[in-house]
Amino acid sequence: MRQVESKMPPSVAELSHLTNPLASPEQLTISASQLDGVPADLERSIKYASQKLMQSAGILLRLPQEIIAEAIVVYTRVWVGAEGASLLQHQTLVSRAHTMM
């Protein structure tokens, strides 16, 4: 059985050399959700599940891969940085999961 190697996202320090980033390293460090008290691992899990759901829906709708990718990028940009949207304010599922922790 072939073992899948998991890749870790680059650290913020590794991104500081980019000359024209879409998001600054500082924006990638902290999010509005984390400022509202949502644990980082819960935030990552919810965003990942949402992106997988968007990908699956796009495939079922037989959308071109470019459209699915653009939708995921736009979705991700909404949550970037402290000035972005907060999962705690926009999803009741997060607030329920957060209170159970």
**DSSP letters along 23-83, please?**
S-HHHHH--HHHHTT--HHHHHHHHHHHHHHHHHHHHHTT--HHHHHHHHHHHHHHT-STT
User: In angstroms, what is the C-alpha Rg of the chain?
Assistant: 15
Tokens representing 19 are 């000359």
Whole-number Å distance between alpha carbons of 29 and 69: 23
Q: Between residues 46 and 88, which one has the greater pLDDT?
A: 46
Domain boundaries defined on the chain = 39-101
* Whole-prediction pTM: 0.67
What does the pLDDT look like over 46-80, one tens digit per residue?
A: 889 999 999 999 999 999 999 999 999 998 888 88
